[in-house]
Chain A
Amino acid sequence: GAGVSQSPSNKVTEKGKDVELRCDPISGHTALYWYRQSLGQGLEFLIYFQGNSAPDKSGLPSDRFSAERTGGSVSTLTIQRTQQEDSAVYLCASSFRATLSTDTQYFGPGTRLTVL
C-alpha cells in the first residue's frame, strides 16, 4: 500500500515568511509524529498525535511552530515568521498505535526547508 507522503519535497522561502508543510500518513494509522533534522544532526522530536488525544507538543522549539491534524489523518506543520535556523529536513512518521510495544514508525521522505 501507499506509504507516508509529504509535500512539498523542497521549499525555499525568505526569512520572515510563513510556511506550511503537509503530511499524509498511512491509512489507518492513529499516531503521527513530526521531527526535524538539521544538516549532519540526529532527529529532533517536534510533536506527536495519538488518535483523538491532545497532542504532545513538548518538542516544539518555539511558539512560531504549530501543527494540527484534521480528521485524524492529514497533518500540517506551520512555521510562522521563518528564521534561517529553521532550515532543516522536516520528517513525518506514522504508526498504527503508539501505545503498542510493537509500534513501528514509518517515515515519509521529508520536506527540505531552506530559509534564505
Chain B
Amino acid sequence: DAKTTQPPSMDCAEGRAANLPCNHSTISGNEYVYWYRQIHSQGPQYIIHGLKNNETNEMASLIITEDRKSSTLILPHATLRDTAVYYCIVRVPGNQFYFGTGTSLTVIP
C-alpha cells in the first residue's frame, strides 16, 4: 500500500474549520483513502473514507484531489473534543492498515 505524509501537528481555534492535509503521491487506482482519529488513551475511531469522489458524513468531509495524490479532511466546526491524533491511510481492501504517526490536532478555546 502507498505511504502517506502528514504534518506532525496543527492547531485550530474552537468553532473554526480544521483542515488536515495528507499527501499520498504514490497511490494506485484501487487504493482507498481512510481517516481515523485517536483521542488520548483510547483506541482509534473511524471517521470517513473515499476512493476518488469527495465524501461527507456527520463527522467530517473528505476532499480528494483529481489526481488523487493528496486529500484533506475537514472538520467543519472544531470543538475541544476534536483534539486528537488524526491518521490518513491508503489501503487496498483486504490489506492491513498502516497507521503511520498522524497529525496531532489541538483545538484551542
Question: Do residues B43 and A107 form an inter-chain contact, with CB atoms below 8 A?
Answer: yes
Task: Identify which of A11-19, A71-79, A80-88, A96-104 touches chain B.
Answer: A96-104
How many A residues have CB within 8 A of the partner chain? 28
By a CB distance below 8 angstroms, the chain B residues around A107 are 42-45
Task: Identify which of B12-20, B59-67, B69-77, B91-99 touches chain A.
Answer: B91-99
Give the CA-CA distance A37 to B98 in the complex, in Å.
Answer: 12
Give the CA-CA distance A108 to B36 in the complex, in Å.
Answer: 14
List the count of A-B residue pairs having beta carbons below 8 Å apart: 57
Q: Which residue from chain A places its CB closest to the CB of B48 in the assembled complex? A: A104
Give the CA-CA distance A99 to B94 in the complex, in Å.
Answer: 4
Partner of B93, one of A35, A100, A108, A110: A100
Give residues of chain A (7-57) contacting chain B, Cβ–Cβ below 8 Å.
33, 35, 41-45, 48, 50, 56
Question: Do residues B99 and A103 form an inter-chain contact, with CB atoms below 8 A?
Answer: no
Minimum Cβ distance to chain A for residue B65 (Å): 19
By a CB distance below 8 angstroms, the chain B residues around A41 are 101
Question: Do residues A48 and B42 form an inter-chain contact, with CB atoms below 8 A?
Answer: no
Minimum Cβ distance to chain A for residue B102 (Å): 6
Q: Taking the complex as formed, is B7 at the interface, i.e. its CB lies under 8 A from any CB of chain A? A: no
Q: Which residue from chain B places its CB closest to the CB of A112 in the assembled complex? A: B41
Q: Which residue from chain B places its CB closest to the CB of A92 in the assembled complex? A: B43
Question: Do residues A56 and B96 form an inter-chain contact, with CB atoms below 8 A?
Answer: yes
Q: Taking the complex as formed, is A93 at the interface, i.e. its CB lies under 8 A from any CB of chain B? A: yes
Partner of A98, one of B87, B93, B98: B93
Minimum Cβ distance to chain B for residue A71 (Å): 22
Q: Taking the complex as formed, is A61 at the interface, i.e. its CB lies under 8 A from any CB of chain B? A: no
Question: What are 7 inter-chain pairs, A to B, with CB distance below 8 A?
Answer: A43-B38, A43-B97, A45-B98, A58-B96, A91-B43, A99-B94, A105-B44
Query: Which 9 A-B pairs give the minimum distances between C-beta atoms?
Result: A107-B43, A43-B99, A42-B101, A99-B94, A104-B46, A48-B96, A101-B93, A45-B96, A42-B99
